[in-house]
A and B are shown apart, each in its own frame.
Chain A
Amino acid sequence: MWNYSETVMDHYRNPRNAGSIENADAIGEAGSLSCGDMLKLYLKVDDKGIITDAKFQTFGCGSAVASSSMLTEMIIGKHIDEARKITNKQIAEALGGLPPEKMHCSVMGHEALEAAIANYYHEEIKPNNDEETVCNCFDISKSFLINEIKNNKLKTLADVMNYTKAGGACGKCQSKIKAILDEINNASLNQEPLTKTQMIIKINNVIEKYISPELRKDGGDIELIDVEDNKIKVKLTGRCQSCNRSQITLTHFVEAALKQHIDENLEIIQV
């Protein structure tokens, strides 16, 4: 059983604005039958650009219907350019959150909205032939993936599957997705390398918050001595100094905590 919020349950039980609009000013679609979910969004827009009515038809699970229903409530009364700023995250938040595995439902809502607005402005939706399809099962392009990874700060393959479904069926494209993830996440690391001062502050914060409290329970503590690139020099103090298990503490606890909270590539040296 999914842990759906009350709002999600209310919306799939009593969907708002379900149906279609004849003579709609804009129609947007996302998803497909074979993928297991699809959303068709109809908009009525007045001459000032205000969305006066929105209706949806959804093939999909409870959270897909809830996302569609919530989306229509969020955009009715808004100027079309305002509506364009709505993100999938805002849809999910308005629903009181979605289970991680269901985030792709909010992404689908956002996609259909984008498509409808593009349709309104008669913008060509790029069936770009050069566009590389990464996931064939769900027909997901590389540029779409890059966008979702950046906008939602996705870190892992599981994140990508939860938000976009890519890689979730046959799994053949998973290595491609990992490569894209690495590319984006390494780039963001390389863009902003921490200065030495920033690094020292960050390390001390982790020590204060996660490491020292544990060591103090056993009458020990730890001091940061120096930082050289990725080499972190520390000194165990108090009872840790004389403890014959200090090396284990250092690698299994201190190093693990620093790596988890700061950077996988850190090296811890005891001085």
Chain B
Amino acid sequence: MTNSNLIYLDNNATTKVDEQVLEVMLPYFSKYYGNPSSIYEFGGFNSKVIKEARESIKDFFGAKSSKEIFFTASGSESANMAIRGVLEADKSKNHIITTKVEHPCVLNLYKQLEKEGYSVTYIGVNSDGEINIDEIYDAVNEKTALVSCMYANNETGIIFPVKEIAQKVKSKNKNTKVYVDAVQAAGKIKIDVSNSEIDMMGISGHKFHAPKGIGALYVKSSILLSPLIIGGHQENGKRAGTENVPSIVGIAKAANLAQEALEYENTKVKALRDKLENGILSKIYNARLNSSPYNRVPNTTNIGFEYIEGELILLNLNDLGICASSGSACTSGSLDPSHVLKAMGVPFTALHGSIRFSLSRFTTEEEINYTIEKMPRVINKLTALSPFQKELKELKERKGII
């Protein structure tokens, strides 16, 4: 598989490592390979490097102190470390509130915690994919140990008002902790814990042009956290294991670059996303936007194609060198379509044919033009195969296309 002609529109799945990130990482593999815990300068030098990286990530989060930043190996680890960490540190409460549309890395952890005796309230979303803060507020009680809500949804890109949620939660129970999964927000919008009552926030490097296998977690200094991985004193005793120096250097560089590119993301990338979205919606009669057009991260669009199936769309796009993803059941090997789209009540005519396009700052206008040009042909080909010709004809007529 070469990528010379690749049009990569699946940046919510993973991103390419920025060349500048790779460049700063390389010396830390075989030149400066010392263990940061060693006493001699060759090792100790790397602890300074990590310290600088921690400063960068602190700024990325808008945190007060770099002591509030922990490096992990992934977004999933950040979530597990935060959630299990606070629950373990205070066992007096057994109730958790989260949303129905969280990423599986969080949802499956809550399913596990239910087995371990916690009761979990799952808050739904409306058909635009938005959350009702009052529902969360109402669910908080004196037994609520934790509220966890994502910053932005990976499938729709819808942004949740996490600062407001944290404030509301604390106004009802000041002892309830708030975890925010910011994996899909980082690098796309300013993730910001300053002047907020958010206690913990997790991110993953490979979603913003750092390599895979590195994540970070913000934990407010007042929060007591039990470590998940026990061993050495690394990460202030909260996460044992010799530090992944090259990747730590990488995620810090990626965070700095992402911070600089935020404006570009929210103007140029957004314009390309909108162009793609409008192009598809205007040219393809059985296409529908699955979420609200507002209040989204700038790179994501989720479009349902009625009466055709998502995996087949992806396979045909793949033949054209276009990478996207689908909430269809068939793609994942599970038989159930996307829990996010189901929670939004996306009609089943479009549920199985939903495609997510996610752009990055490396996406070009030519790539978007090419995709807009090719999509109608792909969709028409597959629509012609559909057994629902009568329904498709009705849909066409309803939309005033004869």
A-to-B contact residues, CB < 8 Å? 12-13, 15, 18-20, 29, 33-34, 36-40, 57-62, 64-65, 101-102, 138, 161, 165, 168-170
Contacts and interface: CB of A to CB of B under 8 A. Distances in A.
Contacts of B349: 33
B369 to A, nearest CB: 24
A168 B334 contact: yes
A59 B335 contact: no
Contacts, number: 74
Contacts of B352: 33, 36, 59
B337 A36 contact: yes
Given A57-B389, A59-B387, A60-B309, 10 more contacts: A13-B319, A33-B352, A36-B337, A59-B309, A59-B385, A59-B386, A59-B388, A64-B309, A161-B335, A165-B335
A62 B384 CA distance: 15
A61 B387 contact: no
B315 A12 contact: yes
Contacts of A65: 312, 385
Given A61-B309, A64-B309, A39 B335 contact: no
Given A168-B335, A169-B336, A36 B387 contact: no
B400 interface: no
Contacts of A34: 348
B210 interface: no
Contacts of A13: 316, 319
Contact of B348 (A20, A33, A62, A64): A33
A258 B50 CA distance: 54
B328 A61 contact: yes
B333 A101 contact: yes
A36 B389 contact: no
B307 interface: yes
A33 B353 CA distance: 11
User: At the interface, is chain A mostly helix, strand, loop or mixed?
Assistant: mixed
24 contacts: A15-B385, A20-B389, A29-B387, A33-B307, A34-B348, A36-B328, A36-B335, A36-B337, A36-B352, A37-B309, A38-B388, A57-B386, A59-B307, A59-B308, A59-B352, A59-B387, A60-B309, A60-B312, A61-B330, A64-B312, A64-B330, A161-B335, A165-B335, A169-B335
Q: How large is the interface on B (under 10, 10 to 19, 20 to 34, 35 or more residues)?
A: 20 to 34
Interface of B: 307-312, 315-316, 319, 328-331, 333-337, 348-349, 352, 384-389
Given A34-B348, A168-B336, A60 B388 contact: no
Contacts of A161: 335
Interface centre among A65, A138, A170 (most CB of B within 10 A): A65
Contacts of A37: 309, 330
A29 B387 CA distance: 9
A210 to B, nearest CB: 31
A85 to B, nearest CB: 25
Contacts of B308: 59
Given A13-B319, A33-B349, A36-B329, A58 B335 contact: no
B343 to A, nearest CB: 14
A103 to B, nearest CB: 12
Given A165-B335, A168-B335, A168-B336, A36 B385 contact: no
Contacts of B387: 29, 38-40, 57-59
Nearest to A1: B318
B36 to A, nearest CB: 38
B301 to A, nearest CB: 22
Given A33-B348, A36-B337, A168-B336, A62 B389 contact: no
Nearest to B352: A36
A203 B319 CA distance: 51
Contacts of B311: 61-62
B91 to A, nearest CB: 30
B69 to A, nearest CB: 36
A169 B330 CA distance: 12
Contacts of B384: 18-19
Nearest to B315: A62
Contacts of B310: 61
A15 B385 CA distance: 9
A165 B352 CA distance: 15
A261 B328 CA distance: 38
A58 B328 contact: no
Contacts of A102: 330
Contacts of B334: 168
A136 to B, nearest CB: 13
B108 to A, nearest CB: 14
A37 B316 CA distance: 17
B17 to A, nearest CB: 21
Given A33-B348, A168-B334, A169-B335, A12 B312 contact: yes
Nearest to B318: A1
Question: Most chain-B Cβ atoms within 10 A of its Cβ — which of A36, A60, A65?
Answer: A36
A19 B381 CA distance: 11
Contacts of B385: 15, 18, 57-59, 65
Shortest 10 CB-CB distances between A and B: which pairs? A168-B335, A61-B330, A57-B387, A61-B311, A40-B387, A169-B336, A34-B348, A36-B352, A62-B315, A101-B333
Given A33-B388, A38-B387, A60 B330 contact: yes
B138 to A, nearest CB: 26
